[in-house]
C-alpha cells in the first residue's frame, strides 16, 4: 500500500518555515512579500525536483501536476492544495501543511506508479489569509473574484494589492486570466490543521469537514469631534473611540445571544484618529468580523450589528460610517468527497469524525465549481494564528496518508 515519506515531508515543512521565520519561532510570510516570493521560487523548485509539471497562473497560484500541464475540461483533474502565505506572527503549518502534504502525496503516487485515471494536481493559492482580500487566488481560479475591485484592494496598513503584485513581478490586469475552464476540476480535497480544540479534546485523529463557515468583514467608523484632552469638559466630549469600544463590547454580547451557539465575532483591527494622547479621538474605526456556519443566522447578525452601530452613534450624538469589506458564504462540502475521505480512513484503520470548519478556507471557493472537501488533523492545544501553532508529526503523517488515499480514490 502506497505511503508518504514523513522524513521528506518534515524536511520540506521545516525548510518552508525558514522563509519569513521569526527569531522567537513562528513565521510572517504575507502574500507577495519578498519572503513569500522566495518561498514561491523554492516551492516551484521542489515541485520540479519531484518530477511534476510546475506552473504559476496570473493570480499567483502555484501548481504542480502529474499527468497534465494545464487545466482543461477534456481531462478534469483531481486537485488538492492550500496556501503558503501566512498571517503576521503565524504558525508553520496553517496552509503549508496542505501544500506540502499534497506535493508529497503526488510525488509518492508518481514514484509508486499508483494507478489513477485522472490527472492529479496540487495548488498553493494566493493570499488565502486575505491581507489584500480574503481567499484571493482561489476566488480568481473559481471565477468568483470581482475584477473591478482589484484596483482598490488594500491592506489595513494602506499597501495596495496592485503595488504588491507588481513588486513581485505580476501584472494585476491579468488576474482574470486565472479563471479555470468550466469542468476542469473533477474534485478538490484539502488537508488542513483544525486550528481549534475539538479533535484533540475528542481524541479523534481525523476530521472530515462537512461545512465551512461564512465570514463577513465590515469597517465601522464612529466620527465624533477632536478636542483638547485636558480642557474639554467630560460631558461635552464626542469621543469616536469610546463609541467604537461600546460597539465592540455590545456586538460580542449580540453574537453570543443571537448567534445560535456556533457564530463568533472578532475585532482585530482598531484605529484611532488623530491618535495622539492629548486629543480626544475624533474617529474610532474598527474592522468587525462575523463568522458562522448558517447563512440566515449570519445575515441576521449582520443586520443586528448595523442597527447596533447606528444606535450607539445616535445615543452619543456622533456619526457612524458602515462599509462592508468582504463576505464569504458558508459552504457545504461534497458528500462524495466526504465519503472518499472516510473510505481512506477505513482503509488505513484510522478513526474519523465529521465536523464543521470554524475557519474559512479556499475549499469554500472550490465548492462552487466542483465537489470539494477537507481533511483536518488536531492542533496542539487548539492553537493557531500564533507562533506556537503545532501538530504532532504522527498526526501529520496520518493526515498526509489519508490525503494520499483520498486522492487515489477520487482519481480512480
Distances (CA, A) of 117 to 42, 64, 105, 184: 29, 17, 16, 15
Write the Ramachandran bin of 127: left for phi over 0, alpha for psi from -120 to 50, otherwise beta: left
Using DSSP, state whether 21 is helix, strand or coil: strand
Q: Which of Mn ion, ligand HGY, none sits in contact with 396, Cβ below 5 to 8 A by type?
A: none
> Quick one: 128 or 239, whose CB is closer to ligand HGY?
128
Q: Which of ligand HGY, Mn ion, none sits in contact with 399, Cβ below 5 to 8 A by type?
A: none
Residues that bind Mn ion (CB under 5 A): 94-95
Q: Please classify residue 253 by burial: count the beta carbons closer than 10 Å to its beta carbon, then call 0-12 exposed, 13-18 middle and 19+ buried.
A: exposed
> Quick one: 134 or 305, whose CB is closer to ligand HGY?
134
Task: Provide the minimum distance between the beta carbon of 347 and Mn ion in the complex, in angstroms, as a whole number.
Answer: 27
Q: Which of ligand HGY, Mn ion, none sits in contact with 360, Cβ below 5 to 8 A by type?
A: ligand HGY
> Quick one: 212 or 344, whose CB is closer to ligand HGY?
212
Q: What's the CA gap between 140 and 145, in Å, rounded?
A: 5
Using DSSP, state whether 309 is helix, strand or coil: helix
Strand partners, 90: 27
Task: Provide the minimum distance between the beta carbon of 171 and Mn ion in the complex, in angstroms, as a whole number.
Answer: 26
Residues that bind ligand HGY (CB under 6 A): 128-129, 359-360
Task: Provide the minimum distance between the beta carbon of 381 and ligand HGY in the complex, in angstroms, as a whole number.
Answer: 17
Q: Which of Mn ion, ligand HGY, none sits in contact with 96, Cβ below 5 to 8 A by type?
A: none
Task: Provide the minimum distance between the beta carbon of 188 and Mn ion in the complex, in angstroms, as a whole number.
Answer: 15
Q: Which of ligand HGY, Mn ion, none sits in contact with 95, Cβ below 5 to 8 A by type?
A: Mn ion
> Quick one: 209 or 309, whose CB is closer to Mn ion?
209
Task: Provide the minimum distance between the beta carbon of 192 and ligand HGY in the complex, in angstroms, as a whole number.
Answer: 9
φ, ψ at 406 (rounded to 5°): -65, -45
Q: What is the dihedral sign for C-alpha 32, 37, 43, 44?
A: positive
Distances (CA, A) of 206 to 79, 212, 263, 271, 390: 20, 16, 23, 40, 15
Strand partners, 12: none
> Quick one: 135 or 345, whose CB is closer to ligand HGY?
135
Task: Provide the minimum distance between the beta carbon of 360 and ligand HGY in the complex, in angstroms, as a whole number.
Answer: 4
> Quick one: 129 or 246, whose CB is closer to ligand HGY?
129
Q: What's the CA gap between 16 and 29, in Å, rounded?
A: 10
Amino acid at each position: 500500500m502506497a505511503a508518504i515519506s514523513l522524513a521528506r515531508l518534515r524536511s520540506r515543512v521545516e525548510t518552508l518555515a525558514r522563509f519569513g521565520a521569526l527569531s522567537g519561532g513562528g513565521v510572517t510570510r504575507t502574500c507577495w512579500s519578498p519572503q513569500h516570493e522566495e518561498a514561491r521560487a523554492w516551492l516551484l523548485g521542489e515541485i520540479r525536483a519531484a518530477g511534476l509539471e510546475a506552473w504559476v497562473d496570473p493570480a499567483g497560484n502555484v501548481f504542480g501536476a502529474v499527468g497534465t500541464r494545464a487545466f482543461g475540461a477534456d481531462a478534469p483533474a483531481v486537485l488538492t492544495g492550500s496556501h503558503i502565505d501566512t498571517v503576521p506572527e503565524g504558525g508553520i503549518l496553517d496552509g503549508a501543511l496542505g501544500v506540502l502534504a499534497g506535493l508529497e502525496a503526488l510525488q509518492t503516487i508518481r514514484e509508486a506508479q499508483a494507478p489513477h485515471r485522472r490527472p492529479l494536481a496540487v495548488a498553493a493559492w494566493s493570499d488565502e489569509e486575505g491581507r489584500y482580500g480574503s481567499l484571493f487566488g482561489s476566488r480568481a481560479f473559481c471565477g468568483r473574484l470581482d475584477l473591478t475591485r482589484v484596483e482598490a484592494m488594500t491592506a489595513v496598513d494602506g499597501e495596495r494589492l496592485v503595488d504588491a503584485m507588481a513588486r513581485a513581478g505580476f501584472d494585476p490586469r491579468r488576474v482574470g486570466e486565472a479563471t479555470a475552464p468550466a469542468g476542469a476540476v473533477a474534485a478538490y480535497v484539502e488537508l488542513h490543521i483544525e486550528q481549534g480544540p475539538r479533535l484533540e479534546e475528542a481524541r479523534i485523529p481525523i476530521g472530515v469537514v462537512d461545512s465551512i463557515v461564512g465570514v463577513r468583514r465590515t469597517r465601522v467608523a464612529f466620527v465624533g469631534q477632536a478636542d483638547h484632552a485636558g480642557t474639554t469638559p467630560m460631558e461635552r466630549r464626542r469621543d469616536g473611540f469610546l463609541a467604537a469600544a461600546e460597539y465592540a463590547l455590545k456586538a460580542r454580547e449580540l453574537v453570543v445571544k443571537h448567534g445560535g451557539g456556533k457564530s463568533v465575532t472578532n475585532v482585530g483591527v482598531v484605529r484611532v484618529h488623530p491618535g495622539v494622547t492629548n486629543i480626544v479621538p475624533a474617529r474610532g474605526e474598527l474592522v468587525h468580523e462575523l463568522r458562522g456556519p448558517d447563512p440566515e443566522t449570519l445575515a441576521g447578525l449582520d443586520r443586528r450589528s448595523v442597527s447596533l452601530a447606528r444606535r450607539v452613534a445616535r445615543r452619543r450624538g456622533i456619526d457612524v460610517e458602515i462599509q462592508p469589506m468582504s463576505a464569504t458564504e458558508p459552504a457545504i462540502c461534497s458528500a462524495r468527497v466526504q465519503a472518499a475521505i472516510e473510505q481512506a480512513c477505513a482503509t488505513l484503520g484510522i478513526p474519523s469524525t465529521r465536523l464543521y470548519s470554524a475557519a474559512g478556507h479556499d475549499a469554500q471557493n472550490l465548492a462552487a465549481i466542483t465537489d470539494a472537501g477537507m481533511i483536518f488533523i488536531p492542533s496542539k492545544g487548539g492553537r493557531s494564528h500564533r507562533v506556537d501553532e503545532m501538530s504532532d508529526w504522527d498526526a501529520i503523517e496520518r493526515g498526509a496518508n489519508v490525503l494520499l488515499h483520498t486522492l487515489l480514490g477520487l482519481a480512480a
